[in-house]
Amino acid sequence: MARSRPTVVLAMAPALTKDLFADAHHARLAALADVPDPAPLARFDDARADALLPRAEILLTGWGSPRIDPALLDRASALRAVVHAAGTVKGHVDPACFARGLRVSSAAAANAVPVAEFTLAAILLAGKRAFRLQRRYRELRSFRLWSQEVPAIGNHRKVVGIVGASRIGRLVLAHLRGFDFERLVYDPFLPAADAAALGAERVELDALLRRADIVSLHAPSLPETRHLLDARRLALLRDGAVLVNTARGALVDGDALTAELASGRIDAVIDTTEPEILPADSPLYELPNVFLTPHIAGAMGTETQRMATLALDEIERLTKGEPLQHEVRLEDWDRIA
C-alpha cells in the first residue's frame, strides 16, 4: 500500500496503553500519516467508530483493541493493514482479515526483549538460590553456612533447558552464551543444526527435564501445548531443579505443579499462572520455594515504548511500499502464540 500519507485510526484500551506513546511517537505518527482522531477507539459500536472506521487504511492497535472480525471489515472498506503495537494478535484479529487481503504486523519481537531479560535474571538468581535464601535469611536473621542450607547452589556448569525456540526462547539462549552454562533446547520444529547455531543441544522434552538444573518455558499456549508439563513430566525433574515460567500458565498442570512444590522437591519462578490471578488461598503465595510475580515479565511502563517504535517503523515501511519486517502470516497461525 505505497501511499505517502495513509489514514491511521488507533484502536486500543487507553487504561492499558497509557505509557505506549511518548510525545515523540505522536509527532512521528503525525508526520507519517493522517490521523483524524489521536484518541484511540476502545470500542467499535459507537458514533465515533462509525465516523472513523470507513476512513481507516491502517488500524494501529494495542492491548484491549476491539475485535476485527468480518462485520468490522465490512464497515472499514478502505482498511489495508493492521499494525499491532503489542504481542499476540490472536485476541483481536480474526483470520478473516487474511482472506480479505489485509497485512498484519505484530510487535511481539519488541515485547520479547523484556521477557528475555526477566528470564535471564530469574535463571541467574535461581541458580544462586536467591529466592529461597531471601526468605530463609529474613526468618533467621543470623549467619549460616548458606551452601549447606540449599542443594547445589551456584551457576557454574549448570544445565539450563529451554522449552520452545520462540523469539523469547532464542533471545534467552543468546543471553546465556555469556555465562558458563550447558544449554539444552526442546522444540519439535527446530532442526538440530539450528539448535547448534543457537549454542544449544536439541533434545526431546523428557530428556531435557531429566538433565536440566533449570527449565525455562517459552512455548506458545496452544491446544497441543496445554499442560505440556503434566504430573508425569514434572516428576522427571531432578531433585532441586528450578522451573521458570514466563510464558503461559496453561503450559503446566497447575495442580500437579502445586503438589510438587508443596513437597519441597523443586523450586519455581512463576510469572504466569492459570487462572491469571490465583485464588487467595493458593499455596503458591506462601511456599518458600516459590517466587511468584504478577505477570510482569513482558513490556511494562517505559518498555512498552519499544513496541510503539516498532509499530511506527512498520507503518513507515507500508507508506514506502517496503516489506514488513514483523508480518504475521496465516500459514503460521496455528503455531504462533
94: which 3 cell numbers? 480474526
Read off the pLDDT of residues 89-109 as tens digits, 9 standing for 90 and up: 999 999 999 999 999 999 999
With a pLDDT cut of 70, the percent of the chain lying above it is: 99
- Work out the average pLDDT over 204-231: 98
Read off the pLDDT of residues 117-146 as tens digits, 9 standing for 90 and up: 999 999 999 999 999 999 999 999 999 999
Specify whether 248 is catalytic.
yes
Specify whether 138 is catalytic.
no
Q: What integer pLDDT is reported at residue 150 of this predicted model?
A: 86
User: Domains in the chain, please, with CATH?
Assistant: 8-106+301-332 (3.40.50.720), 112-292 (3.40.50.720)
Label residue 152 by pLDDT band (50, 70, 90): confident
Which residue among the candidates 276, 286, 329, 335 is catalytic per the annotation? 276
- Work out the average pLDDT over 24-42: 97
Distance, in Å, from the CA atom of 7 to the CA atom of 10, rounded to the nearest integer, reads 10
Distance, in Å, from the CA atom of 165 to the CA atom of 219, rounded to the nearest integer, reads 7
Of residues 3 and 336, more confidence is placed in: 336
Asked if the model's pLDDT at residue 238 lies above 80, the reply is: yes
pTM of the model: 0.95
Distance, in Å, from the CA atom of 283 to the CA atom of 337, rounded to the nearest integer, reads 28
DSSP-based helix, strand, coil % in the chain, nearest 5: 40, 15, 45
- Work out the average pLDDT over 199-203: 98
Look at 59-73, 148-162, 293-307 and tell me which has the smallest mean pLDDT: 148-162
Which residue among the candidates 28, 248, 317, 326 is catalytic per the annotation? 248
Specify whether 55 is catalytic.
no
Distance, in Å, from the CA atom of 173 to the CA atom of 158, rounded to the nearest integer, reads 14
CA distances (Å), origin 279, targets 46, 273, 274: 36, 11, 10
Q: What integer pLDDT is reported at residue 3 of this predicted model?
A: 55
- Work out the average pLDDT over 248-255: 98
Q: What are the two backbone dihedrals, phi and then psi, of residue 316, each rounded to the nearest 5 degrees?
A: -65, -40
CB atoms within 10 A of CB 191: 11
Distance, in Å, from the CA atom of 318 to the CA atom of 180, rounded to the nearest integer, reads 43
Asked if the model's pLDDT at residue 2 lies above 60, the reply is: no
Do the bridges between strand 290-292 and strand 8-11 make them parallel or antiparallel, or are there none, so unpaired?
unpaired
Average pLDDT for the chain? 96
Which residue among the candidates 25, 295, 303, 316 is catalytic per the annotation? 295
